[in-house]
Structure 1
Amino acid sequence: MALRLVSIAKDAAPAMAEPAARHRRRLMAVMLADVVNYSHMMSRSEDETHARVSCLARELIDPTISRHGGRIVRSMGDGWLAEFASATDVVRCALEIQRGLATRQADEPDQIKLRIGINTGDVLVDQHDIYGNSVNIAARLESLASPGAICVSQSIYDQARSQPGFFFADRGTQRVKNIPYPIRVYEVSDQPIRLPLRTRLAVHWGSLAVAAGVAAVAVLATAGVLVFGTANPVVARTNKIVVLPFNNIGGSSSDDYLADAITEDLTSELARLPRAWVIASGTAFTYKDRPDTPSAIGRELKVRYALQGSVRRAGPIVRVNARLIDTDNGANLWDNSFAYETSSLADLQDNMLGRIATSLNDEVTVPSLRHEIGTLAADHNPLDERMRAMAATTGYPTPEKFLESRQNAEAGLKADPDNARLLALLAHVLMGDVLNGWNGAGKAEVDRAETAARKAIGLDRNVALAHFALGYVLRLRGDHPASLASFQEAIRIDPNFARAYAQAANALVFVGKPAEAIPMVEQALQLSPNDPAVGVFYWVKGRAYFTLGDYPKAIEALSESARVRPNLWYVQAWLAAAHALTDQAPKASETLVAFNTKFGSEYTLDRITRYYQEEQYQNPTLQAASAHVLEGLRKAGMK
């Protein structure tokens, strides 16, 4: 949520300022804590949320602040501003609060989490409140913290770094709102922090930690480059790479989904490398179980780098062996093994991306909030169900695979209804069923998909698949400008999302800009030349040329689409019409015969005419193009 707690103190003086003579300055440590997603929780249940937060404040937060020598300056129900005389005391207090929250809510699926920011410096004090730049900086640090985490300033780090039990991670130098100079940010925890870091991981402990924890710190020290922020700089995407399907070598075929899901996730996560130009997973999965060498695949796809790996699961531990290969010469740029608990797969991905970034002289931007609960070791938990749902959508789509994916997503959402990635997956497969006529999907599924997509976006705007699914919904609703905007937003979030480029191109045709559609679909074809949806890519390209009146180029693209996807009736119909409109009667007749053999009993000229009167086609561009299609089909002899 927004920083409601300090909206008065952080950017403006109070409306009724006291005389300057009554103000004084004092050096103190300041802690700002804020409940994550408080407004959202209140919108679901005001009484329950208020009761839960009040109970935690009364039984945990307020007494912990008092016990560590702090004083609550201001409490707004969903946040606290407290002052301390000691940097060490305030850090210990914050750690105890976060630890206490986690312990008390260990068995609760919908946990209340805090973000905490801590700073020390000169503070302006009056009888009732504290103000000044030091408080503002604490507010900015709190906004940078992840849910359940604590961010502190350089001054706190300098004073507390040598204390036993404090583990610090350098999050880099940040520029924040209304602070004229950059501030150095550190995250602090009571255990080693598993993060890929831009600079060295500064860890301090008073006694020898558990050996596994120390090993994890050692691995992370080499993790690579991280930029703490969300904006991708505009740079040339010159590092062309493909993530080859990871192999499951654990001995159990039931874990195949895990290898597929990790491949899919890593492909999407590579969008966080601003210079990465990534072959889409749809094309990458066509190489699954094939003997092609990475160098041969690199030549075929015209990419310089390939990420190749294997997955082995043993109980709650997933071990991934991965190597980054220069396809020009077959050399390994790095080769490493990563072992993580199944509840920490996001950390595994961060670690691997850090290594890739270092090898490619690139940077990793921090993703949006990762909301995930559960581990893969247990059946039917949200994380496991998401991985299974993702794996079911890889490769060539079928009604059975989409039904399996939908069921997994629905099962995960029962336990974790606010999981944005699961909601996006559900919206995606529902729209896949609707568009393909699978699994009895109809208007109700369109409505469900819209609800799921919008909820996902409300929870996390940076889930590209949610915007992609919403784009389809809006197209069926006939709102083509909004549909285009949704597909473009998916591309902004994931600039390697091949299918989003193709559908953005399709939307451009709908809004009367077919010339602009052609380079967009060309981008899709470059990103995923062997995609299971490549027939649709060529269809979009062919329709764009048809709408422009360039029937020879339309025939070229539509012919390729018909070759790859002979089961798409509209491709055959538009191809027959294009042949007829260019006076190629034999070709038009041949195409129409093939169409009638496959679709004639279902798609007559009258049925196609009614089809193009549906809501999504009620715009001048498509009405004109559809009229020409019908003209061509009549000329070709369709009844």
Structure 2
Amino acid sequence: MKSSQQSVVIGDRVIDLAREGLRDGRGDIVPLRPRAWAVLRLLATRAGQLVGKDEIMDEVWSDCEVTEDSLVQAIGDIRRALGDASRPALKTLPRRGYMLVVDERPIDVPVVSGNAVQTSEADEPPKSSSMPHLSIVVLPFTNPGNDPAQDYFIDGVTESLTTDLSRIAGSFVIGRNTAFTFKGKPIDARQIGRDLNVRYVLEGSVQRGSNRFRLNAQLVDTETGSHVWADRFDKPAADLLDMQDEIVSRLANTLNAELIAAEARRAERLPRPDAMDLYFQGRACINKGVTPVFLAQARDFFMRALALDPGNIEAAVAAAQIDVSAGSAFLTDDPSVQFEAAETALHRVLLHAPNHPRAHMLLGAVQMQTRRGLSGIAQCGQALLLDPNLADAHGFIGLGKFLLGRGEEVEEHIQEALRLSPRDTRTYLWYMFVGLGKLSIGADHEAVEWFRRSIECNRNHALAHFHFATALALVGDLKEARAAALAGLAVDPSFTIRRYRTKARVDNPAHLRFYEGMHLAGVPEE
């Protein structure tokens, strides 16, 4: 059996990953039912590695509840489709999982079962491996004060963080049972990376004094041994469980952005990036801001990812986010086109992955922007039930309250988003939402400060500049208002008051003041 990035050859059969099919020696398709093909594709992308039964079930049957018999039947279909070559190539490890063998011998790798991984019984480290994208192990945080009374709290932080990081799109997280085998041992991140076949190690320490709590964390690249990110969290000591939830959420949200950036940088160096490499590069573009250029670049990455892997759920959700962002930012004269495209795509995603938090959240955003505010808020609530760390869902609920004419309620939702993720890449949007709420209830001076904070976080969002200009004009600062309007036009030269007025998504009469403010600030009418 031989493999490349695009295909795996087994005897006279070719697993064609680029064109999504099993082919015979003549290039003709060998029939396989969709679920069996999905199993074979997963095994082929991890050729030479043991893939646990639980992980296969979670990946292939994520949209329904089935017994292990379905997996056994799919494996039988694969063996029949592979023919004589299946016996040496497709290995069954009883009670553990399955493996496609590379060069007629397996690679010694961690045994994967869902998000739990146990160390291989082989004495030697992997001879050759392709580390999974965004793969990470959370090592047990240390207790520098050696206070035994704090051990349960520190272990709780480690366990909760392991669970929460597994919710990051495209992540592969080593299970806590394996991670805790390293507790109290000297740490060599590069060796751990080789042993567990992961790209990143998260390590840290927790100290708690009489009235203060401090957590230090470092993210290490296991291939180079270099630090990707490090930070310190200081908080007044409070209720331990509440504090644990908040710290873990903040860490998980911060690491989400850092890991995406790290994976995108890694992908930039690859001559032939795969679908997930392209996905991470697209996500990194989205994080830069909402401009026509950044959105076009991100869309290109996601479309290329979907061309390589049409079943890539994360790329499909992210592509829909591009349409939501373009429509929400008034980047086109008819945003209904973008909203309709996003809604169609998100319904398709949820048909296959009904518990995808971001898909529910983005569907909620579309509904809010198309005068279905209550339904949209409910969708964001569903997203939070599926992922309590999804701070952006709180942000969208705040926007929904503004669009429903309940501007006085916006700030409390944004404060909750900031509690969960104070350094989020999308805080600039959340600050703008509060500014809109303040402006709608006549608190113009407060609105000015919220819009100013939005722009200080990220200048690559034209709508924030135009709203800032509006608020400044309404408080009488026309000079700065006109400068803010010009800054917005530098980001989106096509913006006009007519576009904003004709596509308004709010019935609040106070919104008429927005048009007046934009006019005073010098935003073009046409």
TM-score, normalised to structure 2, is 0.51
The CA deviation at 1:615 is 5.1
Partner letter of residue 394 of structure 2? Y
Distance 2:110 2:422 in 1: 43
What corresponds to 1:526 in structure 2?
A: 419
What corresponds to 2:374 in structure 1?
A: 481
Determine which of 76, 84, 94 is the counterpart of 1:166: 94
Change (3 A) 1:322 1:547: same
CA contact 1:490–1:497 (8 Å) conserved in 2: yes
Q: What SS class does the counterpart of residue 512 from structure 1 fall into? A: coil
Matched ranges for 1:59-458 at <5 A: 97-104=73-80, 166-167=94-95, 194-195=112-113, 239=157, 267=168, 319-326=198-205, 328=207, 379=272, 381-396=274-289, 399-436=292-329, 444-458=337-351
What corresponds to 1:535 in structure 2?
A: 428
Change (3 A) 1:385 1:500: same
CA contact 1:311–1:320 (8 Å) conserved in 2: no
Distance 1:223 1:264 in 2: 9
Consecutive unaligned residues of structure 1, counting only runs of 5 or more, are 1-50, 57-80, 83-90, 108-163, 170-190, 217-221, 226-237, 244-262, 274-307, 340-355, 365-375
Consecutive unaligned residues of structure 2, counting only runs of 5 or more, are 1-30, 37-65, 84-91, 98-108, 130-136, 141-155, 175-187, 209-213, 224-243, 253-266
What corresponds to 2:500 in structure 1?
A: 611
How far does the alpha carbon of each residue in 1:35-87 deviate from its partner, in whole angstroms, 9 at most, with x for none? xxxxxxxxxxxxxxxx9669x9xxxxxxxxxxxxxxxxxxxxxxxx99xxxxx
Q: What SS class does the counterpart of residue 326 from structure 1 fall into? A: strand
Q: Give percent identity, aligned residues only.
A: 17
Distance 1:401 1:444 in 2: 19
What corresponds to 2:479 in structure 1?
A: 590
The CA deviation at 1:628 is 2.9
The CA deviation at 1:481 is 2.2
Change (3 A) 1:192 1:603: closer
Distance 2:460 2:70 in 1: 61
CA contact 2:407–2:441 (8 Å) conserved in 1: yes
CA contact 1:509–1:544 (8 Å) conserved in 2: yes
What corresponds to 1:161 in structure 2?
A: none
Partner letter of residue 593 of structure 1? R
The CA deviation at 1:537 is 1.7
CA contact 2:201–2:219 (8 Å) conserved in 1: yes
Q: CA RMSD in A?
A: 5.9
CA contact 2:410–2:434 (8 Å) conserved in 1: yes
Q: Does 1:459 align with 2:378?
A: no
Partner letter of residue 113 of structure 2? L
Change (3 A) 1:547 1:473: same
Determine which of 393, 402, 425 is the counterpart of 1:509: 402
Change (3 A) 1:432 1:311: farther
CA contact 1:268–1:494 (8 Å) conserved in 2: no
Change (3 A) 1:332 1:536: closer
Distance 2:33 2:215 in 1: 55
CA contact 2:455–2:465 (8 Å) conserved in 1: yes
The CA deviation at 1:459 is 0.7
Change (3 A) 1:538 1:338: closer
Matched ranges for 1:565-604 at <5 A: 565=458, 568=461, 570-575=463-468, 577-578=470-471, 584-585=475-476, 587=477, 589-595=478-484, 597-598=486-487
The CA deviation at 1:596 is 5.1
The CA deviation at 1:575 is 4.5
How far does the alpha carbon of each residue in 1:515-539 deviate from its partner, in whole angstroms, 9 at most, with x for none? 3321111122333434443322211
CA contact 2:32–2:77 (8 Å) conserved in 1: no
The CA deviation at 1:426 is 1.5
What corresponds to 2:46 in structure 1?
A: none
How far does the alpha carbon of each residue in 1:206-232 deviate from its partner, in whole angstroms, 9 at most, with x for none? xx989779xx9xxxxx9999xxxxxxx
Distance 1:334 1:632 in 2: 46
What corresponds to 2:509 in structure 1?
A: 624
How far does the alpha carbon of each residue in 1:269-323 deviate from its partner, in whole angstroms, 9 at most, with x for none? 89999xxxxxxxxxxxxxxxxxxxxxxxxxxxxxxxxxx9889999xx9542413
Change (3 A) 1:265 1:396: farther
Partner letter of residue 490 of structure 1? A
Matched ranges for 1:488-507 at <5 A: 488-507=381-400
Q: How many residues align?
A: 362
How far does the alpha carbon of each residue in 1:430-479 deviate from its partner, in whole angstroms, 9 at most, with x for none? 33344456799965444332222111111112222222332333234332
Q: What SS class does the counterpart of residue 194 from structure 1 fall into? A: strand
Distance 2:348 2:371 in 1: 21
CA contact 2:167–2:387 (8 Å) conserved in 1: no
How far does the alpha carbon of each residue in 1:310-354 deviate from its partner, in whole angstroms, 9 at most, with x for none? 89999xx95424132126599989999989xxxxxxxxxxxxxxx
Change (3 A) 1:397 1:325: farther
The CA deviation at 1:543 is 1.4
What corresponds to 2:61 in structure 1?
A: none
Distance 1:440 1:265 in 2: 39
Q: What SS class does the counterpart of residue 507 from structure 1 fall into? A: helix
Partner letter of residue 485 of structure 1? A
Partner letter of residue 591 of structure 1? E
Distance 2:514 2:70 in 1: 68
The CA deviation at 1:513 is 2.8
Distance 1:418 1:552 in 2: 48
Determine which of 424, 428, 439 is the counterpart of 1:546: 439
CA contact 1:393–1:401 (8 Å) conserved in 2: yes
Between 535-544 and 478-487, the greater mean CA deviation after superposition: 478-487
What corresponds to 1:292 in structure 2?
A: none
The CA deviation at 1:505 is 0.6
The CA deviation at 1:625 is 2.3
